[in-house]
Chains A and B, each alone.
Chain A
């Protein structure tokens, strides 16, 4: 929604969200550190803190990764998706605190440079010499790149598809982190509960993702019927349209959103939000605009432009209604922001 780049577009929701986030993290750390100080008084403080930051980070990572599929399964989770990047940056900061403590504690003050030590000190091909520290370091690099590019500045300049692909590397980081934990601390802190918790996390996330995928499997089935005029495809019947409720369809793998509004007008725009490629057809018609369910970006249905002072725009499609009361959409989209006379029913 920004015409210029602000550091963070603060609003009341984001402020409340971040206050709750910080307090929750502090609560987590307080519980872990408090119990550790009481039950393990000889545990070296740097090691206790190192563990607290690490477990807080990986727990938060599981929450972050759960939000996406949860939002697909039930739209009520979308408010948590809105600010997910704040969770991500927070998780990175926790992971960084853990890494700095670990490097200072275990790798400084020796005959080798600390970063070199991270990679070579404990490295070998056998089970007892798996370089778990290197796995953690690589994961940290990925998380850093993601945190550093989490701002919309990067989203715009890298373009949404490139940015999204870059941020899919969180999944690589996740596997690296499982390896880091499994071949590291779980080799000595062998309580069954620890491995069980980690396993439950993996299974939970895997199950959520697969269930979300399965439950959404029909959304992107392509329209098959071509109209008599072969430039157009038949999307639906007029009777399928409900006033002010967008209807989504997929044309050659591209999503579009049809809308019946102002009583008798039918327009069609791209179903892909220009911001982060959110699903516009799953949004709502509010304030005279089709509104994206992810971050609230808005587009006017007749020309795909955002209302003043915003400048985003999306492609539009020519629409006509045939004599069988079917809604036809021209397969080839118009350039973003092109006005199109709405079809009238």
Chain B
């Protein structure tokens, strides 16, 4: 492998590795929070949760 390839690989992983990790963590931390609420009046009795 030529030297310029190795330099590019180094750069890739100094940039892309952290970038990928940041994307992963950001997406995990910013997931939407799903609300819960007590049953409303008059609806059918709910059955087993999935």
Beta-carbon contact of A187 and B21 below 8 Å = no
A145 within 8 Å of B by Cβ? no
Beta-carbon contact of A206 and B24 below 8 Å = no
Q: How far is the CA of A253 from the CA of B24 in the complex (A)?
A: 37
The residue that A168 contacts in the complex, of B2, B8, B23, B31, with Cβ under 8 A, is B8
Residues of B within 8 A of A190 (CB): 28, 31
Q: How far is the CA of A190 from the CA of B23 in the complex (A)?
A: 15
Residues of B within 8 A of A277 (CB): 1-2, 5
Beta-carbon contact of B27 and A206 below 8 Å = no
Beta-carbon contact of B30 and A127 below 8 Å = yes
Residues of A within 8 A of B13 (CB): 171, 205-206, 209-210, 213
Number of residues in B with C-beta < 8 Å to the partner? 27
A220 within 8 Å of B by Cβ? yes
Residues of A within 8 A of B4 (CB): 253
The residue that A128 contacts in the complex, of B6, B24, B28, B32, with Cβ under 8 A, is B32
**B8, B20, B30: residue with the most chain A Cβ atoms closer than 10 Å:** B20
A156 within 8 Å of B by Cβ? no
Q: A205-B13, A209-B17, A210-B13 are in contact. Are A187 and B27 (CB under 8 A)?
A: yes
Q: How far is the CB of B5 from chain A (nearest CB, A)?
A: 6
Q: A187-B31, A213-B10 are in contact. Are A175 and B20 (CB under 8 A)?
A: yes
Beta-carbon contact of B6 and A213 below 8 Å = yes
B14 within 8 Å of A by Cβ? yes
Residues of B within 8 A of A127 (CB): 30-32
Produce 1/0 per residue, A267-301, CB < 8 A to B: 00000100001110000000000000000000000
Which residue from chain B places its CB closest to the CB of A201 in the assembled complex?
B20
The residue that B23 contacts in the complex, of A68, A175, A250, with Cβ under 8 A, is A175
Q: How far is the CA of A216 from the CA of B10 in the complex (A)?
A: 11
The residue that B3 contacts in the complex, of A198, A203, A205, A220, with Cβ under 8 A, is A220
Produce 1/0 per residue, A133-170, CB < 8 A to B: 00000000000000000000000000001001000100
Produce 1/0 per residue, A175-187, CB < 8 A to B: 1001100110011
Q: How far is the CA of A205 from the CA of B24 in the complex (A)?
A: 15
Which 10 A-B residue pairs are closest in the complex by CB-CB distance? A206-B17, A182-B27, A209-B13, A178-B20, A220-B3, A213-B10, A171-B12, A202-B20, A182-B24, A195-B28
17 sample A-B contacts, Cβ–Cβ < 8 Å, listed by A number: A68-B9, A161-B2, A168-B8, A171-B16, A172-B16, A175-B20, A183-B27, A187-B31, A187-B32, A195-B28, A202-B20, A205-B17, A209-B17, A253-B3, A255-B3, A272-B2, A279-B1
Which residues does B use to contact A, with CB under 8 Å? 1-6, 8-10, 12-14, 16-21, 23-28, 30-32
